[in-house]
Amino acid sequence: MNHDCDFCIIGAGTAGLTAATLAARKGYKVTILEKGNIAGPLPRGESMAYYPLVDEILGEGFLQDIATVKPSYRRYHSPGDKKTTLVNVHVPYYFFEWREFIDRFVQSASEAGVEIRYNCEVQSALMNEMEICTGVSYTDESGKDQKIQARVVLACDGYYSTIGSSLGVDYSKINCPIVKFRGKNANIDIQKTPNPQFWLIPNGDLEYAPLFPPCAAYVFPIGGNNIEAGVMLRMGQVPKIKSAELPSDEVIMQVWRRLKEEYPGFSEVFKEIEVEYEALTGMPNASLVESFVLGNGGVVIIGDAAGFVDANGSSGLYYGMKMAEEWVNILDIFLKKNGVWNVVASRNLENQFRNTKIFKHIKKSYSLIGISEAFLFRLLATGKAINRWWWLFSIMIKSAS
């Protein structure tokens, strides 16, 4: 069969651009299809720890150079801001601006010879032969339907993946709604409070939204008086909590506005704030997908599309990149040896990935978060009980970090 490219990658986010750069550096012909008119059109996470892979993709010292704030502690606030705990995470977290970060990924991909086609939205229908995926169809920038054939398709299309959904992944079990906010002129003294802060709010604690799921409101200092902030609904335990349900988008935004106005401790930060960006989005944090090779093979899901984040810190940037690296390495060896997919190959490749350290780490992060959230939001359940047992939660969270 004639292929248009070796790797067709769907989505120019951090996972897709990493996979593309590494595959192109190995000599493969790589095409990315991105639905936006730029890479990573909507801002996602703007902080991460350093790992050698970051230098490999972005260049030595790039992450450190673009970050002005580099804290290695996190502060957790109990319900009602009655108690706080400072946790040493032992490595600095670098905070940066999304556009500066993502543009550098694009530069690296372009230097490696990757072709990026913007305004190209992949449709759910996959091309296949003998039930193995051989390419995708997409709508190009002029609205025309197009097809592209590839030896491998990597679905790096984010937290609500078109490909994942079309092949049966139920993202309502994987994702958590999250409001992302960026603001200037926050009421924050970065010298005194340079650390990311989290306010844990159990279900039932907000009298104006009694069915609202447990959530964590957060403030990240970006530099100067600029902050990233938001609220993430913690959906992992919700199916087991009778009094919680997934709220509508409108209710989530109403709760978000009230948290900014009146939640103890949290609202202080927003007194004179100048809003730069505010949107409801989602990210995985409730569970991993069941398998990474979809259908009978030919297509692998990577990054947020696979639920591949460290659930303890909601960190997906590095883990999506690392997952991309592992899969490119696995597929490189496989393609050189075999050339084509078959059902048995799919199972072997999936098993190889499940044996990597990074997969085991992510799996463990979901187990740990499951235990600590069950303890907090189901066993203790109320703000009063959580405050009483905060000392025990503090020990748990310190020993897990």
Contacting positions for ligand FAD (CB under 6 A): 10-16, 33-36, 40-41, 44-48, 121-122, 156-159, 162, 178, 180, 230, 281, 283, 303-305, 309, 314-318, 320
Cβ burial 160-193 (10 Å sphere, 16+ → b, else e): bbbbbebbebebebbbbbbbbbbbeebebebeee
Q: Least Å distance between CB 49 and ligand FAD? A: 8
Beta bridge partners of 273: none
- Closest by alpha carbon to 235, among 292, 183, 159? 159
Query: Closest CB to ligand FAD among 170 and 240?
Result: 170
Query: Closest CB to ligand FAD among 15 and 238?
Result: 15
* Contact between residue 39 and residue 116 where contact means Cβ atoms under 8 Å apart: yes
Query: Closest CB to ligand FAD among 162 and 383?
Result: 162
Query: Closest CB to ligand FAD among 286 and 309?
Result: 309
Residue ranges in 139-191 assigned as alpha helix (H): 162-166
Count of residues for the chain?
401
**Cα distance between residue 292 and residue 298, in whole Å:** 11
Query: Closest CB to ligand FAD among 78 and 162?
Result: 162
Q: Least Å distance between CB 98 and ligand FAD? A: 9
* Contact between residue 45 and residue 167 where contact means Cβ atoms under 8 Å apart: no
Query: Closest CB to ligand FAD among 362 and 381?
Result: 362
Residue nearest to ligand FAD (CB): 316
**Cα distance between residue 297 and residue 350, in whole Å:** 10
Query: Closest CB to ligand FAD among 181 and 390?
Result: 181
Query: Closest CB to ligand FAD among 230 and 236?
Result: 230
Q: Least Å distance between CB 381 and ligand FAD? A: 26
What tokens appear for 318 in the block?
């590095």
Q: CB-based contacts of 52: which residues, under 8 Å, 6+ apart?
A: none
Q: Least Å distance between CB 316 and ligand FAD? A: 2
Q: Least Å distance between CB 299 and ligand FAD? A: 13
E-assigned strand segments in 130-174: 132-139, 145-155
* Contact between residue 46 and residue 101 where contact means Cβ atoms under 8 Å apart: yes
> What is the pairing mode between strands 115-117 and 226-233?
unpaired
Helix (H, G, I), strand (E, B) or coil at 89: coil
Cβ burial 92-126 (10 Å sphere, 16+ → b, else e): bbbbbbbeebbebbbebbeebebebebbbbbeeeb
Query: Closest CB to ligand FAD among 162 and 195?
Result: 162
- Closest by alpha carbon to 300, among 276, 331, 321? 331
Q: Least Å distance between CB 284 and ligand FAD? A: 7
Q: Least Å distance between CB 121 and ligand FAD? A: 5
Query: Closest CB to ligand FAD among 33 and 289?
Result: 33
Q: Least Å distance between CB 273 and ligand FAD? A: 17
Q: CB-based contacts of 369: which residues, under 8 Å, 6+ apart?
A: 236, 285, 311, 312
Q: Least Å distance between CB 25 and ligand FAD? A: 18
Q: Least Å distance between CB 392 and ligand FAD? A: 27
